[in-house]
Amino acid sequence: MTLNSGQVFHWEKVGAGFCGTIGESAVYVEQLGNVLQTKMEGGVVRRRAQHQLFRKAPRPTTGATAGSRELAPPSVARVVARYFALDHPLEEICSSFPRDPIMNAARGFCRGLRIIRQPKWECLATFICSSMKQVTHIRQISRALRQRFGEKKEIGGDEVFSFPSPSRLAQTSENELRKCGLGYRAKNLLETAKVITSGQADLDSWSPLSDRKLRKQLCELPGVGMKVANCVMLFAFERIAAFPIDVWIERVLREKYFVRKRKVTGQMLADFAANYFGAHGGYAQQYLFHHARMTGKRKSQRSHSIDQFH
């Protein structure tokens, strides 16, 4: 559910799990009940990410990695556990959501969904490409950028591609980027890649900034407005109060929280969201988004992904 909730766009369903990349590492992940299994590029099952996906504490599965002699690559399980934010206290977070019918439905529907810790540049670049695009289109763009400009990796017989660095994309041209289906977004992605490459903007150095200052810095990048900035803050800077408002969320807010009210401006929606959904508003927003998208008007559950979650 997490991988299909519109946070990341490059994971591909393979067998019972997913293939993708975390940074430069090719990874296979597969959820087995309460356990998240991982494989690395060698294709060998190395470890199981220790965690509690759900409330009930699983029996400690000690000795799951019998092959102690084979030196495991630097803690795959930890990389995976961090990426999937298995340390987030889901129980606390969900309890902090407001108790209204809409939020209750979303909370129940999205049980187990987590906000992923994404690499900053990858997240920023992908969401610059996301404007006025459907999730399936964003997946296509991500795939095209990775295949053309990323580095090929292999995992369990499947090939995956890492996301191209800022300097790699800065070396391309607007025309080359347009071939990836970017349209008018190509210029924005190219210009932002150049700004990052030149050192004029340094994403990592922005981590200590306050939410307000970080948002301001992000919005100065070409192709980054309030919505994209909030997505990057939420998905890559661990600012779980950030509340991105896209067309789906705006629809939910207007139809469910501002029923039959006219002259509701975007600023009013943003102010309401910041005050109403609380310190973990970003989590609430993601739950509302995924719930609306999966159960909304658009009949999408027909041929793809019948049910890969219970």
If 0-12 CB within 10 Å is exposed, 13-18 middle and 19+ buried, where does residue 140 land? middle
Could you give the 3-state DSSP secondary structure of residue 180?
Answer: coil
Which residue, among 98, 134, 94, has the nearest Cα to 240 in the 3D structure?
A: 94
Report the residue number, 153 or 185, with the smaller CB distance to DNA: 185
- Min dist CB 265 to DNA, Å, is 4
- Min dist CB 249 to DNA, Å, is 5
| Binding flag, residue 138, DNA (CB under 7 A) | yes
Residues 223-262 that bind DNA (CB under 7 A): 223-229, 231, 244-249
d(CA 204, CA 170): 18
Encoded one letter per residue, x for contact with DNA by CB under 7 A and - for no contact, window 33-52 reads --------------------
Report the residue number, 94 or 228, with the smaller CB distance to DNA: 228
Residues 69-108 that bind DNA (CB under 7 A): none
Backbone angles phi, psi at 30, to 5 degrees: -145, 125
| Binding flag, residue 145, DNA (CB under 7 A) | no
Report the residue number, 72 or 181, with the smaller CB distance to DNA: 181
| Binding flag, residue 67, DNA (CB under 7 A) | no
- Min dist CB 289 to DNA, Å, is 4
Cβ(28)–Cβ(39) under 8 Å? yes
Interhelix angle 226-236/211-219, rounded to 10 degrees, is 130
- Min dist CB 209 to DNA, Å, is 18
Query: How is 110-158 classified by DSSP, letter by letter?
Result: TTT-------HHHHHHHHHTTTT--HHHHHHHHHHHHHHHS-EEEETTE
Encoded one letter per residue, x for contact with DNA by CB under 7 A and - for no contact, window 181-220 reads xxxx---x------------------------------x-
Report the residue number, 261 or 304, with the smaller CB distance to DNA: 304
Cβ(98)–Cβ(276) under 8 Å? yes
d(CA 156, CA 134): 30
- Min dist CB 84 to DNA, Å, is 15
Query: What is the residue type of 177?
Result: L
Q: Which residues bind DNA (CB under 7 A)?
A: 5-7, 127, 130-138, 140, 178, 181-184, 188, 219, 222-229, 231, 244-249, 263, 265-268, 285-286, 289, 293, 298-300, 304
